[in-house]
Amino acid sequence: MSAALLGMALACVAGAQPAERLARPVKHSYTGEDGKFHVEKDATVGNLGVDAYANLGRRMATADLDAVAMSKALKPVLCDRAGAQAVAAVVKDALKEMTTAQRARLKAREPESLTDLAIIIAASLDQVDADAIRADEALGPGAYHDAITGFRIGLEACDFYGQRP
């Protein structure tokens, strides 16, 4: 168990004040009241990717759609070579760091391992600590929950963005 997660768990058990929840640094892209798409001037490509996948995850959660059918329908968009390069690079690096057992769990599509890889992707693209996201999610759905859902859909649809678990 990571030190951050352990610390949050101990604080909750000890009856301490509830831990402060993790927040994304800023909403980097959004549709304004004018109906136009806006991007913050300091947004990185990674930040925009997290925004896009969070939007996908939020829509999936609220639409009550079949995730498998939706991932098949979205495959041409999610797996577009140009658009998925940043995600594919993160997945490739993450897989290099994994043990054979961890890769086997991914290959078997074990939900916990898919979620953890989705957390690694979101953390890398948004330049935050993956352990902080894990600790926040342990408290319940947090700031990255929708993005994690979206990245999980992408991992399934794009067969790990061309990487082999």
| DSSP output for 76-143 | HHHT-TTTTHHHHHHHHHHHHHS-HHHHHHHHTT-HHHHHHHHHHHHHHHHT--HHHHHHHHHTSS-T
The pTM of the full predicted model, rounded to 2 decimals, is 0.80
**What three-state secondary structure class fits 31?**
strand
For the segment 27-68, what is each residue's pLDDT rounded down to a tens digit?
A: 678 788 898 888 888 888 888 889 989 988 888 878 777 767
pLDDT tens digits, one per residue of 108-137: 999 999 999 999 999 999 999 999 999 999
Question: Domain segments of the chain: what residues?
Answer: 45-158
pLDDT for position 18:
62
More reliable by pLDDT, 112 or 75: 112
